[in-house]
Amino acid sequence: MTERGGSGQGPTAPERKLLKVLAGEAIFPPPIWVMRQAGRYLPEYRATRAEAGGFLDLCYTPRLATEVTLQPIRRYGFDAAILFSDILVIPDALGRKVSFLEGEGPVLEPLPLGEVERLSGEGVVDRLAPVLEAVASIRAALPRETTLLGFCGAPWTVATYMIAGRGTPDQGPARRAALGDPERFGRLIDVLVTASIDYLIAQLRAGADAVQIFDTWAGVLDEASFERWVIEPTKRIVAGIRAAVPGARVIGFPKGAQASLVRFAAETGVDAVGMDWTMPLGFARDAIQPKVAVQGNLDPMRVVTGGRAIDEGVDRILETLGQGRLIFNLGHGITPDADPAHVARLVDRVRAARR
């Protein structure tokens, strides 16, 4: 496989605006998609979720995963669809018990560091075959101009859930483990790096045009730990993907990285970085955008509020970042209390923009 970006890349690939930005082109108005665009704020998603039963059942049933991925594309015509799945399918494929409890989020069997040696990444891609089937199905059903994004959770973030068994306010259990026994914690990261490389390569070969690495808990680390557990693993993943799929396009999203995003952009090899809504726009324009494309970073609360809150937020981002390489997005996932009509206003505001 030498074709850039997987089998989703065909003769129509140059028409996909998001891919143009990842390749280095500045486009205005910029392409737009939003994280968690297939989610509980949409009535059609809630209906499909009810049909599936459990959340992982939805992720692992290709027909239903395809349907919910396509729903926001039909409704809003976003420039990208992102595979409907979850960052915790990798620990599930590694044999760790994962469940999703209504109102509580994900719950895992906590992993003592002494059991890390028993983990093996062998067979992860085979166990995630239903997800890869969904990737191929989604690509076949998407409009030709729509980019398909695959994704995985970054090793640090996935490890935080595996160690604690759930999300905590500051992911203290994983931070203590990493500081107290960095050798064993490093072996866990190694397993997750290898599994992530194999999984993302498989997504690209199944039809994804590009992939995103979500590091939701990157912002809780100090500078040295950020280097070791965020930058270095991401760099290894990007290199591993491109060894198999030359020129593959990768977006990195280390939420909460702030000034450390400069080093992340310079050292990991990603084509774009996602930014949360607390990132100062002028800093992003001057320190990050000259290195890579930037993605973000509207506060999701503006979409909940609607009206002028959306308009002012969109305009400020476009005024500051619109001259360079930009993928318009939220600074994190859209929340269940967002009004679908507010999302339509957001898309219209971005697409109606003029320099």
Binding residues for substrate: 36-40, 86, 161, 216, 332
In sequence order, the 6+-apart residues with CB closer than 8 A to the CB of 80 are 18, 31, 33, 146, 147, 148, 149
- Beta bridge partners of residue 251, listed in sequence order: 212, 272
Q: Of residues 4, 16, 45, 49, which has the active-site annotation?
A: 49
Q: Of residues 79, 86, 276, 299, which has the active-site annotation?
A: 86
CA angle, 203 then 187 then 125, to 5°: 20
Find, among 242, 263, 265, the residue nearest to 252 by Cα.
Answer: 265
Specify the 3-state DSSP secondary structure of 158: helix
Phi first, then psi, for residue 272 (nearest 5°) are: -155, 155
Angle between helices 172-180 and 155-164 (to 10 degrees): 100
Annotated binding site: 36-40, 86, 161, 216, 332
Structure-token match 């450390």, residue found = 260
Phi first, then psi, for residue 274 (nearest 5°) are: -85, 145
- Read off the tokens for 348: 């219209």
Which secondary-structure segment (H or E) carries 149? strand 147-153
**Is 60 a catalytic site residue?**
no
| Residue 150 to residue 132: CA distance in whole angstroms | 10
| Residue 285 to residue 223: CA distance in whole angstroms | 22
**Is 161 a catalytic site residue?**
yes
Contact predicate 5/22, CB 8 Å = no
Q: Of residues 4, 16, 36, 302, which has the active-site annotation?
A: 36
Contact predicate 328/30, CB 8 Å = yes
Q: Of residues 41, 76, 161, 199, which has the active-site annotation?
A: 161
Measured CA distances, 316 to 17, 130, 297, 311 (Å): 22, 41, 11, 9
| Polymer length of the chain | 355
Q: Which residues are catalytic?
A: 36, 40, 49, 86, 161
